[in-house]
């Protein structure tokens, strides 16, 4: 067997595989002999079928199968030994022209070659948001805690600050939703005026347009679908079933201990410090994800290289569950091109900067995850034998290994970008972050 490569250009090549009879004949004869021993043919005892009959009935199919096995093995070995970085898989070029009645064959395969390019993570500046919990957020969170741990006082008449439980109905939009709203949820002045002074048992008619500050609240309180929530402009009936005033909890040691454990927090100042730490820890995760997304988008946009587009479109057309038309294959390529480009960029970054995840790192990550989960249930000091045993079970699950590997891969890449990318740190409050980062 002989394999030669002819480069068409920097992104395309053709492999020619010459197969002679001596390459496949032994395997074909072996398979046919096994067929002869096991085949059931009327009029012949098992194992006594004439070889000529076996070859006539099975010879061509066995020949094709064995030659194809040789081809696959040879191609894999060649690509590995020559260290060819290919996209997709080799595509048969002349299979329709093969004369299977001959002894020797010449097969041609198209290759799509990975492009050569450089990645510069310092090329373009990317904003790295540092999200801080400002005084307004802290005060609102303290207020929320006091409400949550306060007590409800039943009333008969609605006043500002009350919680109202009732049922919204509308025949027009088929609405019947029991819910609890506060007067603070109501942004519309006319709607609020209609509710103030209403009593338990009353039914109030309200316009939905402008009733809430955010149209998404129409989903929450009225139960309509997302698309209907935007710009909803109808009248709804609201039957008041219960009115409560929430008396806020006192900021005392009993509340602090209930929230964080005995003696961990001893004052409102320490409470706000704890809230700030917890909030900014959560914000950091959102900031990190935003950073990762932004650096990835920047690299895709600014790392320029060509792809063997025509080859890839043919490969997409031929290798799916069903063969695609040229038009559909082109559309599919266009949909997946951005992802393919990033796969190549990420692969190069990982290879050049040793960012691959090792098994030991995977095991350590799983053990740390187990320790954190056990700590939530009061098991703060598990033995190494326990951790090893649980980690072994987790790592025997393919889906879990893939999930943990993805977590570690993302973490390694994020740390690499933090240390090497051209970042501009911007301190910002959470509300401004949401508006600016996801506008």
User: Among residues 95, 113, 131, which one ends one of the domains?
Assistant: 113
Residues 63 and 96 placed together within one structural domain of the fold: yes
Q: Is the pLDDT of residue 402 over 80?
A: yes
Q: What token pair was written down for 235?
A: 């009248």
Average pLDDT (374-394) is 87
Q: Is the pLDDT of residue 343 over 80?
A: yes
* Residue 52: band (very low, low, confident or very high) from pLDDT cuts 50, 70, 90: confident
**Residue 407 domain-assigned?**
yes
pLDDT in tens, 163-201: 999 999 999 999 999 999 999 999 999 999 999 999 999
Average pLDDT (237-266) is 94
pLDDT in tens, 220-234: 999 999 999 999 999
**CA angle, 222 then 225 then 226, to 5°:** 110
List the domain range (segments joined by +) for residue 45.
2-113
Residues 222 and 177 placed together within one structural domain of the fold: yes
Inter-axis angle of helices 359-376 and 384-395, to 10 degrees? 120
Residues 100 and 198 placed together within one structural domain of the fold: no
Average pLDDT (395-417) is 93
Q: How far apart are the first and last CA of the chain?
A: 60
Alpha-carbon Rg of the chain, whole angstroms? 34
With residues binned 3-state (H G I as helix, E B as strand, rest as coil), the percentages for the chain, rounded to 5, are 50, 20, 30
Place of tokens 């290798």: 319
Question: How confident is the prediction for the chain on average, in pLDDT?
Answer: 93
Distance CA 312, CA 300 (A): 19
**CA angle, 245 then 251 then 255, to 5°:** 95
Q: Is the pLDDT of residue 246 over 80?
A: yes
Residue 165 forms beta bridges with which residues? 180, 242
Residues 228 and 93 placed together within one structural domain of the fold: no
Residues 426 and 285 placed together within one structural domain of the fold: yes
What pLDDT is recorded for position 319? 86
Average pLDDT (292-315) is 95
pLDDT in tens, 352-378: 999 999 999 999 999 998 988 888 888
Residue 19 forms beta bridges with which residues? 105
Higher pLDDT among residues 45 and 418, named by residue:
418
**Residue 391 domain-assigned?**
yes
Place of tokens 């980690």: 391
Pairing mode of beta strands 151-155, 163-170? unpaired
The per-type count for the chain, helices as H runs and strands as E runs, is: 14, 11
What pLDDT is recorded for position 44? 76
User: Among residues 113, 143, 160, which one ends one of the domains?
Assistant: 113
Alpha helices in 152-260 (DSSP H): 189-195, 217-222, 226-229, 253-260
**CA angle, 157 then 162 then 163, to 5°:** 105
Residues 106 and 232 placed together within one structural domain of the fold: no
Distance CA 28, CA 361 (A): 47
Q: Is the pLDDT of residue 347 over 80?
A: yes
Q: What token pair was written down for 96?
A: 């329709």
Residues 294 and 402 placed together within one structural domain of the fold: yes
**Residue 265 domain-assigned?**
yes
What pLDDT is recorded for position 60? 92
**Residue 347 domain-assigned?**
no
Distance CA 393, CA 209 (A): 55
- Find the CATH number of the domain harbouring 189: 3.10.50.30
User: Among residues 53, 86, 113, which one ends one of the domains?
Assistant: 113
Residues 13 and 74 placed together within one structural domain of the fold: yes
What pLDDT is recorded for position 419? 96
Distance CA 212, CA 185 (A): 6
Length of the chain: 439
Alpha helices in 44-169 (DSSP H): 51-82, 135-148
Residues 96 and 211 placed together within one structural domain of the fold: no
Using the Cα atoms of residue 318, residue 320, residue 325 and residue 328 in order, give the sign of their dihedral. Answer: negative
Residues 41 and 190 placed together within one structural domain of the fold: no
Q: Are 352 and 116 in contact (CB under 8 A)?
A: no
Distance CA 151, CA 164 (A): 15
**Residue 418 domain-assigned?**
yes
Average pLDDT (205-229) is 94
**Residue 317 domain-assigned?**
no
What pLDDT is recorded for position 183? 96
What pLDDT is recorded for position 300? 96
**Residue 137 domain-assigned?**
no
Q: Is the pLDDT of residue 95 over 90?
A: no
Residues 420 and 374 placed together within one structural domain of the fold: yes
- Find the CATH number of the domain harbouring 77: 3.30.70.1050
What pLDDT is recorded for position 309? 96
Q: What token pair was written down for 409?
A: 């891969």
What pLDDT is recorded for position 240? 97
Residues 264 and 406 placed together within one structural domain of the fold: yes
What pLDDT is recorded for position 338? 95
**Residue 199 domain-assigned?**
yes
Q: Are 117 and 22 in contact (CB under 8 A)?
A: no
Read off the pTM.
0.75
C-alpha to C-alpha distances, 115 to 163, 230, 348, nearest whole angstrom: 63, 47, 11
* Tally of domains in the chain: 3
Q: Are 98 and 105 in contact (CB under 8 A)?
A: yes
């Amino acid at each position: 067997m002989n394999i030669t490569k002819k480069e068409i250009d920097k992104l395309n090549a053709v492999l020619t595989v010459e197969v002679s009879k001596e390459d496949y004949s032994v395997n074909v004869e072996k398979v046919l002999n096994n067929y002869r021993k096991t085949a059931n043919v009327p009029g012949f005892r098992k194992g006594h079928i004439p070889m000529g009959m076996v070859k006539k009935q099975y010879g061509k199919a066995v020949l094709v199968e064995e030659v194809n096995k040789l081809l696959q093995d040879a191609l894999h070995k060649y690509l590995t030994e020559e260290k060819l970085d290919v996209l997709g898989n080799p595509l048969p070029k002349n299979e329709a022209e093969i004369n299977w009645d001959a002894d020797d064959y010449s097969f041609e395969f198209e290759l799509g070659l990975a492009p050569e390019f450089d990645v510069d993570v310092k090329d373009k500046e990317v904003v790295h948001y540092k999200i801080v919990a400002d005084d307004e957020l802290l005060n609102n969170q303290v207020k929320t805690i006091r409400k949550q741990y306060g007590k409800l006082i039943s009333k008969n008449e609605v006043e500002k600050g009350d919680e109202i439980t009732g049922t919204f109905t509308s025949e027009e939009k088929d609405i019947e939703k029991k819910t609890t709203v506060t007067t603070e949820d109501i942004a519309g002045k006319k709607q609020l005026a209609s509710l103030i002074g209403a009593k338990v048992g009353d039914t109030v008619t309200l316009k939905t347009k402008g009733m809430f500050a955010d149209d998404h609240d129409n989903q929450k309180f009225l139960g309509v679908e997302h698309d209907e929530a935007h710009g909803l402009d109808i009248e709804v009936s609201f039957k008041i079933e219960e009115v409560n005033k929430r008396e806020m909890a006192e900021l005392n040691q009993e509340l602090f201990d209930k929230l964080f454990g005995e003696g961990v927090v001893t004052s409102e100042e320490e409470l706000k410090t704890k809230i700030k730490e917890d909030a900014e820890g959560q914000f950091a995760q959102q900031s990190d994800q935003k950073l990762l997304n932004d650096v990835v988008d920047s690299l895709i946009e600014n790392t320029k290289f060509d792809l063997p587009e025509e080859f890839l479109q043919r490969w997409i057309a031929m290798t799916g569950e069903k063969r695609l038309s040229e038009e559909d294959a082109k559309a599919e390529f266009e949909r997946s091109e951005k992802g393919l480009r990033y796969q190549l960029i990420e692969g190069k970054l990982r290879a050049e900067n040793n960012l691959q995840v090792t098994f030991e790192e995977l095991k350590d990550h799983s053990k740390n995850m187990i320790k954190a989960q056990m700590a939530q249930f009061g098991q703060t000091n598990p033995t190494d034998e326990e951790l090893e045993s649980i980690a072994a079970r987790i790592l025997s699950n393919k889906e879990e290994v893939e999930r943990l590997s993805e977590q570690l891969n993302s973490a390694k890449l994020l740390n690499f970008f933090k240390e090497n990318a051209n970042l501009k740190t911007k301190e910002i409050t959470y509300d401004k972050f949401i508006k600016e980062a996801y506008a």
